[in-house]
Amino acid sequence: MSAAYLGDTDSEDEVPNGWEERLTEDGRVYYANHSTSQTQWIHPKTGARKYVPKELPYGWTKQVDEDGTVIFFQESTGKKTHTDPRLAFSRETKQSVYDFKQRFDASSTAFQVLNGVDLTGKRALITGATCGIGLETAKSLAKHGCEVILACRSSSRANEAIEEIKAIKATAIVEFVKLDLESLTSVKTCANEVLIKFRTLDYLICNAGVFGAPFKLTEDNYERTFQVNVLSHFYLILLCKPLLISTKGSRIIILSSESHRSSLMTPENICEEYLSPRVASNFVAFLAYGDTKLCDAILATEIDRRWGHEGIICNSVHPGNMISTEISRNWWFYRLLFFIVRPFTKSLQQGAATTVWGATAEELNDVSGQYLNNCWLCAPTEKVTNRDMGESLWSMSIAMIERVMGVLPANNK
């Protein structure tokens, strides 16, 4: 099948005059030179080989007239064209798993990342999805056909979030499961409900977190910031492992932060007493946040080391600096500071972009154990890839969970 070039990519990718970009029936891109009547597989300017997704972009259908003419129809606009819309989403063939072109950046929104992407049949569980970046992530995925599970504490806030999502897409499939990250028992109850109700889980997005919260011990006798930001999410991931393994290409996204670079945690001091102190005198909220965000990035790397061979992809992401969300609610000074810098920070849609890109981008199908920022691969601190720190954090976290909940099955570790 041939198709005229759509012309909505950058100038470097445009074909020269007299050339036409075409598609074979199986989705391979080739190039026709009208002056010589010859064809070739490589781009005449860049020398790259390209391919297109197997499926049509979201919202497009293919129709064949009685005379055999193929017409593509966009449902939302009523537009008809003979040009295969997949050409607008062509990709260069990668020479390695990390060899791909950057399509988005710090200014991109989650909706832009998902342009043309059909997530029908996919399922995502998102923690902290009733407000801020979590809600924006849920809206974006649901708009493109993904079934979304909101894992959060409040049923009333979940219902409000569901109404907001359905205002964008009335047919969206959205469910609520109760989850209180200050309780390991609640985590287990939530995971059990998910395991009973569902057979697959494509995206597990650990989004919830606390910042600047005063010292508090949870019902499990652990420091709140560490338990909410790290330990409970880790426990949820462990419990959901069977679902993730049974879902081909499943991905875990753990929200970290550039604050991980400020952490004072080292291979020498990484221990329970440092990360989860029992007394307020050993706790500094701002430093604790940086420590937990480093732990999140380390765990993403360690999950890849341990589970990568089972087909699970896990990456950590930084959504953006000081985005206006409820995360600043714990101290008036933080609320004031976030208000002052608001005009210079990302919007919620921009803040959700890297999470959504990490969860759904086709170019990341084989990319795991990485730290993502501004919809791209970003080098974290060396501590993130320190194997000793990864093993210490893993063992320590398992021991803290088992102390409260009993011994975990070996296949969940």
Say how far apart CA 161 and CA 144 lie, in whole Å. Answer: 17
Contacts of 179 (CB under 8 A, 6+ apart): 127, 151, 152, 153, 186, 187, 190, 236
Instruction: Please give the Cα distance from 201 to 235 (Å, whole number).
Output: 16
Secondary structure element (H or E) that encloses residue 336, with its range: helix 332-341
What is the total residue count of the chain? 413
314 Cβ contact list (under 8 Å, min separation 6): 251, 252, 253, 254, 300, 303, 304, 307, 308, 368, 369
Question: Looking at 5, 203, 235, 289, which residue is catalytic?
Answer: 289
Rounded to whole angstroms, the Cα distance separating 252 from 44 reads 38
**Helix, strand, coil content of the chain in percent (nearest 5):** 40, 15, 40
Strand partners, 147: 123
CA distance 126 to 147: 11
What token pair was written down for 389? 């720190």
Task: Work out whether the CA dihedral 203, 312, 199, 393 comes out positive or negative.
Answer: negative
**CA gap 332, 338 in Å, rounded:** 10
For the question of residue 274 being annotated catalytic, the response is: no
Other C-beta atoms within 10 Å of 81: how many? Answer: 14
What gap in Å lies between CA 16 and CA 33, rounded to an integer? 9
Beta-sheet pairing, 80-81 with 70-74: antiparallel
DSSP 125-173: EEETTTSHHHHHHHHHHHHTT-EEEEEES-HHHHHHHHHHHHHH-TT--
Distance CA 68, CA 405 (A): 64
Instruction: Give the closest residue to 240 by CA, choosing from 131, 147, 126, 142.
Output: 126
State the Cα–Cα distance between residues 188 and 226, nearest whole angstrom. 18
Strands 371-373 and 377-378: antiparallel
Which residues are marked as active site? 289
